[in-house]
Each structure stands twice: as structure tokens, then as C-alpha cells.
A and B are shown apart, each in its own frame.
Chain A
């Protein structure tokens, strides 16, 4: 375990029992939500996890948070194996890994004031002894999250705030615990486009000022470019390409990553690019295709793709992709 990495994920799998194919069938079927994921995150690093809906990126986040139990594999956080912990054992870890959920309209309890929401984590973890100290922490977290002056917001209820303000409250209630790792599960997808940049800038600032590592989950490659150091592209529960932001965005190797990238809108209307529109639907994650799991939709599939399941192959020191084209 090197000290360099804050988070190390090894062969992580998360399967959900989906029932049986027939009423009296003996075999059980599983949804392969996360299927053999390896990931390493350095201190202060921001990694963007990109993929379409249902590719397992949210399940990965929930498993890292310990909100879902991993089926197989291991998760090391700051050198400690946190894969299977009881709630009691996990409590100290919870303080250091915090999560921002997708929908700020759902993730705030409507009956609590903003102050109560942001104070609660401090109380639960027994941080900041007296009332004054606690309040100081809350004010600082709110102002760091861009709600200034904090006093103006503290006594309001969530329904009295806009979507962007709510998401700032969610971020503040994560920040108040001074986490080392922040999991942001599509934190801007429910917000107006005009607000998105503000929230992303906020996360970028926090990373600068507090040195927090961030896993930024999104289905929109367009928002990644702003502040991610590295990008990981997920498809059907597996990382198919991972590399530095520049490498993946300018020179994607996996056909799926190329397709995702080709449909990002470009601000220049005269610039015409060839869009790569994928054919067919995402395969059912219960019965995965044999061979490469992308082959039924892949425009450059070869015969061998139906038989052999590619592993991540190195392209450069930091850039890897799981495509048989690279093996040749």
C-alpha cells in the first residue's frame, strides 16, 4: 500500500440478484452493475467517471461509499481495507469520504432548516464541541460552498432555495466534515445549464483550496474538460478506457469513447465533424454479450471480438484502453 494513493480499488464487483429466468428454475440471474473495476486515485486528484445511464457508475460510487456491499474485490482507502465494515467501523471512514448526490431536490430533508442540515453531520460525528464552535464550522462550510452571507440562508428551508443553491447546501453539508475524498454523482445534471459551470467551478476551487480528491461522475463528457485530471470511461460495469484528460479527450482509443466524444456539441457552427451514432441498444446487463461486451454495437468489430474479452491495454504510461484493435 503506497501512501501516494488515497483510494485503491481492486477487481471490484457488484452484482444484484435479479431473480430467476423461470419460476422453478434453479439458476439465479444477476445484474452485473459493476464488473471487475480497478481504479487508483492520488491525493488531490480529480478523476471523471463517464458513461451512459445504467453503465454502473452510480453503483460504483455507492459501493465505494459503503452504501452497497461489494460482491467481490477490495477497496482500500488511505491504506485501510474498507470493503466489508460494520456501520460502527465505517463511521470514521464516512467522515473522510463524502458524497454529493445528483438531485438536490431529493437529497435534502424538506423538514429541516439549512442550518440543521449542515450541523447534523458534526453532531453525528461528535465534532466541534460547543454550540458556538459548531456554528462557526457551519458558517464556514456554507460560505465555502458559495452561500454568502451564510446567516441569510441558515434559517431557510430547502424549498425556499433554487436548485443551484440547494446543491451548494448539499456540498456544504459534505464539506463540513472536512472530507479527504468527495464523490460527486452527476452533481450538475439536474441543474440549469447556466448554474452548472458555477457548481463545477466551485468544486474546482475546493480542490485547489482544500486539496480534496474528487471522483466526478457524469454522463456528459462536455463538462469533464473543465477540471478533471484524468478521465475513466465506463461501459456496462467496466472501465473501457482510462487516461489523462488530454489523452482521452483528444485521442480516444476505444470506439465507445470515440463515439461519446464525437457527439459533444462544438461551439463553432461552421466546424462540421462526423458524428458517430452508435447502433442498437445497450445490452441487457443480466446477460452480457460473450467476448468484448461492446462488440454488438461496435462499428469496427472484428470476428475475434465475439470470442475474446479484452483487458485494459497500455497505450502510454497513463493511458489504457480495453480494445482488441490495440492488441494487434
Chain B
């Protein structure tokens, strides 16, 4: 019973958060200075009439919301407008119908852009994330086990150094190194190979992924390593570990049955937070390796004031962060029995 109430509470909070993000999302980009119509095309031949036509086409001529003409600069307008004719209402109505809108720039549906970019990001950052989790946790575990030995200190120093490396710097260094060893220097596929057999294409993508994934793994591994090490060392100094030893458990049994489950709690939190942001992509890595992911999409859309794309991406990021946190909370209630009864 308590478990279900805990679950219900967490799920309803998540839903509430997403609702809040939906509303915030709309205003967040509209208070930015800049005109979406002019921002996309820096061409002096772009005529006034065409600009007006574009405004009408995307509904940008309508007031943003009642009593506000436009939010940029914030200028109070007429309060007597039909509320169903405002941009905000249209935005909400579209969302309810599962419609994310049309990109101002490509004139294509935002959903299509997002889906394509999302897969690219998940492929790259997901692989990097999984690798860094596995490598980081294993090294951290080993370091804590061999605490205060040469192994431990070398792991500690490695973790600190890799965690503090600037991502773009490491990316460029690896790019230099990789280009001399036959790795492609950017992009996701070799241009002009789309008609090749599938096995060739998969190998091609894998080849393109090596350097950016390596960069991601090295940079993020340090965090997991350090947290795992200190968390496990904390747990290993607890009295119940000493008790377990006194009961006759072997070192391996103590690690497996007592230490790991307790030491995983902080790691679960970090993984959840990082997984949420994984969806946002790593803008630096995507930029260095010209990887067509979501991070790049945000950057481009921001430059062009492409509100529908921005709204879509941010909604996606928010939802994934909220869901990742929800999963972390549920994991917690599984890992730590104290959580449910709070």
C-alpha cells in the first residue's frame, strides 16, 4: 500500500513538472530578442510583403497571449481579443493533438527533425554513456577495494585528470590522432554511400562513432570512477561491514552482498541525471565531430529563432530528465528499503 502511494506521488509530481515545462517552454524563447522571420534569412532582397506573408503563414501575426501583443519587447496589448486566436492557445491546442508544429527553417514537421536527431544522439551519447558507466564503476570499485595502494592512487589521479579535461580539447586531440590512423574526421556516414549494402553502412557508422564515443567515455568515466570509489570506501568503513567480516564472510561476499547495494545509491542518482541530459546531447562533442545530433539542432534553431524546433527539443529534454529521475526514484525504493516508509 505504502509502495503504491509512493509511486503515485512520484508519478503525479513528474506529470506536474512536465506540465509546468510545457507552459514555460512557450514563453522562454519568445522573450528572447530577435525576429524569427528575419533571423533565418540574412538577405536584403527579402521583401516586406514576403516577410508579412511568412508571419501570417506561421501565425506570428497573432498576439502571443491575451493582454500581450508580443513579449519582445514586452508590450501590453488588447485584453479583449478572442483568447482562442492567440499563439499560446494554438500552441496548446496543437500539443493536445500531438502536433509539435512546423519548423520555420526547413518547413518540415518538427517531430521528423527530432526523431532523426534523437536517434543520432542516442546512438552516440548512449554508447558513450554506457561505456563510461561500465568502465568508471569497474575502476572505481577496484580502486576502493585496493584503497590506499598504488592502484588506488593511479585510478584517483586518472579520474581527476580525465574529468577535468575540456571536452572539445580532448575531442580535437583525438581527431588529430585519429585522422592519421584511418578514422573519419567527422559526420555520421561517408557521403555518397547511402546505396551501399546495409552491412557496409553499419560498419561505416561504427567507424564514425569511434572517436566521439572515445572522447565521451574518457571525459565522463572520471565522474563515475570518483563517485563509485568514495561511495564504496564510505560503505566499507561502516560497522556492518566489520560485523560481516566477524561473521566469517569472505571479502568477495562482503563486496557482493553488503557493500555494492549500499554503494550504488549515489551512482544511481548520477546515472539518472546524466541519462536525462544524454538526450540533450553533448553539444561540444557534436560540434567537434560534426555529428548531426540534438545538441547541434538546439544550437542551429536558437540562431534562427526557430521556436517550434526549440520548443520541441526542450520538451523532449525535459520529459527525458523527468522520466530518468522518476526511474531513479523507483530504483531507490528498490535499493533502499528506508525510502518507501519516509
Residues of A bordering B, CB below 8 Å? 65, 67, 87, 90-91, 94-95, 98-99, 101-103, 106-111, 113, 120-121, 124-125, 157, 159-160, 170, 173, 177
Q: Answer whether residue B146 sits at the interface, using C-beta atoms and an 8 A cutoff.
A: no
Shortest Cβ distance from B248 into A: residue: A94
Bound complex: CA A99 to CA B256 (Å): 22
Other A-B pairs, 17, CB within 8 Å; known A87-B250, A106-B238, A110-B262: A65-B246, A67-B246, A87-B251, A106-B239, A107-B240, A107-B242, A108-B240, A109-B244, A110-B336, A110-B338, A113-B337, A120-B247, A120-B249, A121-B247, A124-B253, A160-B341, A173-B243
Q: A67 to B262, Cβ gap below 8 A?
A: no
Label chain B's interface by main secondary structure.
Answer: helix
Bound complex: CA A106 to CA B242 (Å): 10
Q: Answer whether residue B207 sits at the interface, using C-beta atoms and an 8 A cutoff.
A: no
Q: Mark B173-192, 1 if CB is under 8 A from A, else 0.
A: 00000000000000000000
Q: A94 to B246, Cβ gap below 8 A?
A: yes
Q: Answer whether residue B245 sits at the interface, using C-beta atoms and an 8 A cutoff.
A: yes
Contacts of A108 in B (CB 8 A): 240, 243
Q: A99 to B240, Cβ gap below 8 A?
A: no
Q: A111 to B245, Cβ gap below 8 A?
A: no
Q: B245 to A110, Cβ gap below 8 A?
A: no
Q: How far is the CB of A28 from chain B (nearest CB, A)?
A: 16
| Shortest Cβ-Cβ A-B pairs, 9 listed | A94-B248, A106-B239, A107-B239, A157-B337, A121-B247, A109-B240, A99-B246, A107-B243, A159-B338
Q: Answer whether residue B55 sits at the interface, using C-beta atoms and an 8 A cutoff.
A: no
Bound complex: CA A120 to CA B249 (Å): 9
Contacts of A95 in B (CB 8 A): 248
B:280-336 near A, CB below 8 Å = 335-336
Q: A111 to B250, Cβ gap below 8 A?
A: no
Shortest Cβ distance from B335 into A: residue: A111
Bound complex: CA A159 to CA B243 (Å): 17
Contacts of B38 in A (CB 8 A): none
Q: Answer whether residue B3 sits at the interface, using C-beta atoms and an 8 A cutoff.
A: no
Q: Answer whether residue B261 sits at the interface, using C-beta atoms and an 8 A cutoff.
A: yes
Q: B261 to A111, Cβ gap below 8 A?
A: yes
Contacts of B249 in A (CB 8 A): 120, 124
Q: How far is the CB of A221 from chain B (nearest CB, A)?
A: 25
Question: Given A103-B239, A159-B338, A111 and B262 touching (CB < 8 A)?
Answer: yes
Shortest Cβ distance from A107 into B: residue: B239
Q: A159 to B337, Cβ gap below 8 A?
A: yes
Contacts of B248 in A (CB 8 A): 90-91, 94-95, 121, 124-125
Contacts of B251 in A (CB 8 A): 87
Q: B258 to A98, Cβ gap below 8 A?
A: no
Bound complex: CA A99 to CA B248 (Å): 11
Bound complex: CA A50 to CA B245 (Å): 25
Q: How far is the CB of B109 from chain A (nearest CB, A)?
A: 48
Q: How far is the CB of A239 from chain B (nearest CB, A)?
A: 23
Bound complex: CA A40 to CA B341 (Å): 48
Q: How far is the CB of B43 from chain A (nearest CB, A)?
A: 64
B:210-265 near A, CB below 8 Å = 238-240, 242-251, 253, 257-258, 261-262
Bound complex: CA A125 to CA B253 (Å): 12
Q: How far is the CB of B251 from chain A (nearest CB, A)?
A: 8
Bound complex: CA A121 to CA B251 (Å): 14
Bound complex: CA A195 to CA B57 (Å): 79
Contacts of B336 in A (CB 8 A): 110-111
Contacts of A125 in B (CB 8 A): 248
Bound complex: CA A160 to CA B339 (Å): 12
Contacts of A113 in B (CB 8 A): 337
Bound complex: CA A182 to CA B240 (Å): 17
Bound complex: CA A252 to CA B187 (Å): 86
A-B residue pairs in contact (CB < 8 Å), sample of 7: A87-B250, A94-B247, A94-B248, A110-B336, A111-B336, A113-B337, A170-B243
Q: B242 to A173, Cβ gap below 8 A?
A: no
